[in-house]
Amino acid sequence: MTKRSIETEFVHAGERRPLPQGLPNATPIYASSTYSYESMEEAERVFTGDLKDYIYTRYGNPTVDAFQEAICVLESGAVARAYASGMAALHAALLASDLTNGSVVLASRDLYGASFDLLYKVFGAFGVKTQLADFSDLVELKRKVEELKPRVLLAETISNPLLKVLDIAAVADLAHSVGARLIVDSTFATPYLARPLEFGADLVVHSATKYLGGNADAMGGVVIARDIADEPALTSAMKLVGGILSVWEAHSISRGLKTLALRLEKQCSNAEFLAEALSNHKSIKKVFYPKFSTGGVAEQVLTQPHNGALLSIVLADDTRDAAWAFMNSLELVVRATTLGDVFTTVSHAASSSHRELPEKRREALGITEGLVRISVGIEKAEETLADIEQALGKAKGKSKKAKNA
């Protein structure tokens, strides 16, 4: 072996060692941006696809692939591709749907606020038109589908923040009747509660930042397709747009997946306890919770007896001041613009997730100033309830003082 200088050995010593024969029981973090080969001819075979292997992490990485394989199995999909965030994943799903100048996206009016921005500001700049509809009104939705002949129908289940459950099978049938695709954002449901592809959806999207990771320490997104024919377009969106999932995030989210069923079991149970307890509270005007909706869709779509791990409340004093006073008075529950974590969080939709929507449009959707979304954690439910009740009491007292001032 050639004797090398200390400067060179600092760089190369210990690197590019052969892989061990034994398989690791946990997927390693492959923190390498590139991969080397014995010859240029071998590398060329990887580039052409004749050899299935890794060449550059933007094109693929073993740690990311492990997460993609896991979520693909959980969603009963044919292929999955992971991205840097939920918004990057939704962007990729839309890019993979052959939208061109003049294409129409028929979107549910019950979407996350940034999803509207993506449709109007990004895709709108390229001539893609977005129309909105109430996806819970299947008669009106059918009329719009037949009239507009959209390329894509886009909806959420469970929706943010009013927690509506989509009749996925019925909407998928309407989409396919005109050759459209159905994309479902299933972040709030997770594959533990619903698997949209099994109901006929074409693509399912997750913000993996939320329940899939579940510990507020990783950001990512993923698209799962029902048809393997979507693989080239989803991979192209990953390679060319470049919003790839980091290997560190992939490892963290994969660990989160392993406890998803355990976490959701407890979170759903706690959410039902809170929804029932708060439904008759004198300081609360209304509780949004899938179990309380009519029509039986939640029972058809969600894995029973669960109804999700979120609820939204509208305060009796339906104002921003009252909502913020309540949120500021919480001592255990965390104020955060996220959800799906092991700890309970609250968010004010009008000033966070839907702040970009005009006030009149928010109110027309039912997102009033006094609405607060509660993402329920795995704490002891009685202690979470006690904190919410004391905060409601303090907020009511502050409201009285303000009115008498």
- Active-site residues, by number, are 58, 112, 185, 210
Q: Cα–Cα distance between 253 and 250 in angstroms, integer?
A: 5
Residue 189, CA distances (Å) to 72, 199, 256, 267 in order: 15, 14, 15, 12
